[in-house]
Amino acid sequence: MCETHTAVVFFAGDRAYKVKKPMDLGFLDYTTRAARQDACDREVALNRRFAPDVYLGLGEFSGPDAEAPEPLVVMRRMPADRRLSRLVRGGAVLDDVLRAVARHLAAWHADASRGPDVDEQGTRDALSSRWEASFAQVHALADGSVPEGVTETEQLVRRYLAGRERLFASRVEQGRVVDGHGDLLAEDIFCLDDGPRVLDCLEFDDRLRYVDGLDDAAFLAMDLEQLGAPEAAAYFLAQYSEYSGDPAPASLWHHYVAYRAFVRAKVSLIQARQGAPGAEAASRRLVSTTLRHLRTSAVGLTVVGGLPGRGKSTLSGALADRLGVTLLSSDRVRKELAGIPSEQSAAAVYGEGLYTPEWTARTYATLLDRAAALLSSGESVVLDATWSDPAQREAAQRVAERTSADLVALRCHVPDDVSAARLSTRASGPSDAGLDIATAMAAREPAWPEAVAVDTSGPLESAVARALTAVRPWGTGQAPVFRRPSMEPD
């Protein structure tokens, strides 16, 4: 026998029998026999979509004092040693297994039901409502004592969703919202020789099963992480992304993993109230997981500035690579707008040619417009430019506020002799600034007190570490960086 917060499963011979608990949890009500009968009917019908040879049908049992037989789900018993959760705990090599599960899930999502009712549950507002409902349930279960981390969770969730309407609208337009599984746990996946069997989808509320396909996959990623296999979680999501051709930004991966972790934290609180051993500790651990992923999912606008020769482009590139985010450079945008290759020289005296105030204003406006589009789509951005004009910095601040992005300003600095040496030996490239331009700019450079100073005269890694401390202040406790697979054209 095994027990969940809503059911009890009995194993006998080659069969498994699942009985619904007669209880009302608010989000489901199984207190009547009719409700339990309907839940069993739906469980069989819905799970046959994923594992038709496992869900055999309905049965019933009765005791000597029963007024009516009790309905139950009859299943083919799966080999316990092939549970994905057991394989993970046993240290098995998982790449082939996870690849098969990712392919199976992506194939199911490709053919899953879609429609206006399904799409409605994939909107930003629908996801916000589910988060808020979970917050309310956790507060109620906690009896007025807010669990540690929940307040920050609420703040981070609301901030992410506030600026991401464009992202969620695009997910609906792409057909990414499907009638999915809704409860994808490693305990319910069996890795057989002829392919995976995925059991126990969510049946009690269709709206909770109408999800973004990435949200569906993120549930298993969250569970793999809880089982102590974060690398397997990242690998599974990357494989799902590749098989589904999903271009979602990494911030959305993290947000959905966080959402699933918080749902499980809520379930653990319910189980704790039912007396389940270890459930309270599990809930705290899951809230911690939620926070790690929400912090990492926070959309950020990092502006890296400084005079020519201060190393801002080198730092910007290294920082963007370390974070796995988009890099935009004013030098490249300026030449793109002029219709010339980025490596072609457009050198001119200070304030002339492509470097008049009008050209510079156009360059920064384009840079910030592109950044705003990316930020609202869930992509964090590093902007490489001098940022010597306070008006341009104020414009960046407005973009961050409009897209609910976290703005961090970094100002690169080195001793003057180091800068001069760099400029005198610089190879041709996107930047046209020489020593004379840098000197002229330095004479007019206003103060930038709100920027974090980064010394780039030493090893690059030291400068990157200083920048990361400003951009990711919570340090090494963050969730891993998810990187989308490189999808080469056929």
* Residues comprising the chain, all counted: 490
Report residue 301 as tokens: 């606008």
Residues contacting 17, CB < 8 A, separation 6+: 9, 10, 11, 59, 61, 72, 73, 74, 75
Identify the pLDDT of residue 28: 85
**Contact yes or no for 255/131 (Cβ under 8 A):** no
Of 79, 44, 78, 39, nearest to 58 by C-alpha is 44
CA nearest to 51, candidates 190, 219, 211: 190
Weakly modelled stretches of the chain, pLDDT under 50: 476, 487-490
Give first-to-last CA distance, the chain, whole Å.
50
pLDDT in tens, 293-346: 999 999 999 999 988 778 899 999 999 999 989 999 998 998 888 888 766 666
Dihedral sign for Cα atoms in the order 131, 133, 136, 141: negative
Q: Which amino acid is it at 378?
A: G
Q: Contact, 292 vs 477, CB < 8 A?
A: yes
Query: What tokens appear for 201 in the block?
Result: 């989808």
Specify the 3-state DSSP secondary structure of 115.
coil
| Residues 307/314, Cβ–Cβ less than 8 Å | no
Residue 58: DSSP 8-state: E
Is the pTM higher than 0.75? The answer reads yes
Q: Strand runs (DSSP E) across 180-282, as ranges?
A: 189-192, 195-198, 210-212
Domain made up of 300-477: CATH architecture: 3-Layer(aba) Sandwich (3.40)
pLDDT at site 464: 94
Measured between alpha carbons, how far is 21 from 8 in angstroms, rounded to an integer? 7
Q: Which helix (H) or strand (E) holds 381?
A: strand 381-384
Do the Cβ atoms of 227 and 89 come closer than 8 Å?
yes
CA distances from 233 to 97, 209, 217 (A): 12, 21, 10
pLDDT for the residue numbered 104: 95
- The helix or strand, by DSSP H or E, that contains position 179, with its residue range, turns out to be strand 177-179
What is the domain partition of the chain in residue ranges?
A: 2-74, 80-297, 300-477
Full DSSP string of 408-475: EEEEEE--HHHHHHHHHHPPSSS----HHHHHHHHHHPPP-TTSEEEE-SS-HHHHHHHHHHHH-TTG
Per-residue pLDDT tens over the stretch 452-466: 999 999 999 999 999
DSSP string for residues in 292-346: HHHHHH--EEEEEE-STTSSHHHHHHHHHHHHT-EEEEHHHHHHHHHTS-TTS--
The CATH architecture that domain 80-297 belongs to is Alpha-Beta Complex (3.90)
The radius of gyration computed from the CA coordinates of the chain, to the nearest angstrom, equals 27
Q: Do domains 80-297 and 300-477 have the same CATH topology?
A: no
Rounded distance between C-alpha atoms, residue 170 and residue 172, angstroms: 5
For residue 327, what pLDDT is reported? 96
